[in-house]
Structure 1
Amino acid sequence: MSQRKYLSFVLLALSGLGINATYAATLQALTDEQLSETTGQALMSLTYTAPTDASNLESQRVNGAKNVGFYKLGLEAEVSINANIKKLQLGCGGMNGAGDCDIDIDNLSLSGLKLNSDGNVAMTNEERASSDAVLTNPFLEFAIKNPDKASTREIVGLRLSADKIVGLLSAGTNNNTPNGINTLSGFMQISGYGTATTAQSTFGLKNSEQVTSYADVNVLPPLCTSGCGSNQKYTAGNVNSDNKGIVIPSLKADFVINNAQVLGNRMKSANVLAVTDIPAIPLTETAGQLGVHMADCIKILGICAKQDTFIKLNTNLVNLEVVPHV
């Protein structure tokens, strides 16, 4: 608004002095020295990254293509946007086959990182609708195979992004039904974090869930003729009718994803490696019991007195590390 007022004032002043406005607006030639002292910024920019360029991330990637260059058309501006796409489908049919798409995403949303009253990132529809993502220098980039050969060059990829993005991007709806990214073609490098919640389970009810260990057995030492003493081998688990299993409680564990790579064509699912440290798991006497079968029968004066029994636990499982695929 201030620029318009200033321009109006200038034109009014020129008119009052009787100066020809057309003559005043005539472009003036600049010398090379004057041009070298002049700086400016274009609204649009176009850059090219050759396949052999050190900044070409595709050629630097392990097993990456060595003959792909990139043409980048950028907008030198800061853009605020709040976008919601109910269904995004790109590359349907074509050379990759009919009846499917290279990209198929439900409920794709881009909003700002607005914080709610609890100090957490706003996640409800109403909260996200009132905030904008901020894109600094957004751009459209084309991946060109054989860019230096007019007879064989072809577009093999497209990227819509920005030099810097502050916002929240989500896909799908949290309704306990798999949705969101239905199919995806291309390459992604993923880093992130989250919290996994395990379901309560019972250990020891399956034949495969057994533990073999050793115990010190002290039963009437003078009269015990076999199966007593140190390091007596036993198997605990579903080995007799005393077995009830040990209940493992539900717990939460934070996990991280470090530079996981996803690469493929029309992928329906992908394995992403995440690492987490499991917090201490309490096992008390109320958690249940495991059946125990001794390798050698405990004999008193040569008569087998005990070979099957049970154990209850009162301990904590600690320092467990899990490497899940999510």
Structure 2
Amino acid sequence: MTPTTIRHACIAALACAAMSASAHGLKPMSDDELSEVSGQALLSLTNQTYDGLDFTRITLGADIQLSANLSKVRLGEYSYTARNGTGADIDMGLFRFGRSDGTEAQRTVNITDPYFEFVYKNAADASKREVIGMRLGFGSIAGDLGVQLNAISGSLLINGGAAGNYDSHNDPLGGKRWDGTTCTSTCGLTLSQIGQLTAGDASGASRDFFISVLRQAVNFPGVNAATGAPDKALEGFWMNWRDRLYAPVLNAAPPPNLPKPPG
């Protein structure tokens, strides 16, 4: 018998032994034992009907620590003049996740359960459905962010402490393409006053952030039972963020978010 043959025989024997040991180690579980076991898939798919529309949500069951710098984010550019703003539904000069001038914990933003959700409606042919849009959101988000908000289409509620709240609900067009200057007396803070944001508080993380792109206005179903259903998202690009969102310091520059030094 050659060395190669011996080696192959040993490998086969070990495999058989492992299979035998594994087989002998298995035993059925009772219903009571099974009831004590729980788990979660990495990806989950949810289909539901809400307010006359159909929704398919794909959720990544993950906890993510994110440090990222986005600049010159412009979504939904347009050329007509009605409520022109800066020429985009969402116009952010900066959007930073995390900050490097604070504690080690502040370097990242904690995100859970990111998801995509697609929206459908019945087409003229009853056997077909038509996609009318989608949204990207998080089950929760907590941490410090740096922003430069030039114009926002969305339902936002930012707690500015003693200075009051920024609430796009008070905007004449309900927050569509708002640049923060047309309803200062009723909306509260102006966008130019907000350079730093904190998501979450002692009660927990912020739970209703999403950005959608739609062909028509949509009432989305809620993701977290604690917050209920979110506000209606309008056509075009739309940002929803009303839960536990704070501007801790007004009229301050966005905090830096530099890479961590080596070593």
Identify which of structures 1 and 2 has the higher relative contact order when contacts are C-alpha pairs closer than 8 Å and 6+ apart.
2
TM-score (norm 2): 0.46
Whose Rg is larger?
Answer: 1
What TM-score, normalized to structure 1?
Answer: 0.38
* Bigger share in helix: 2
Decide which structure has greater strand share: 1
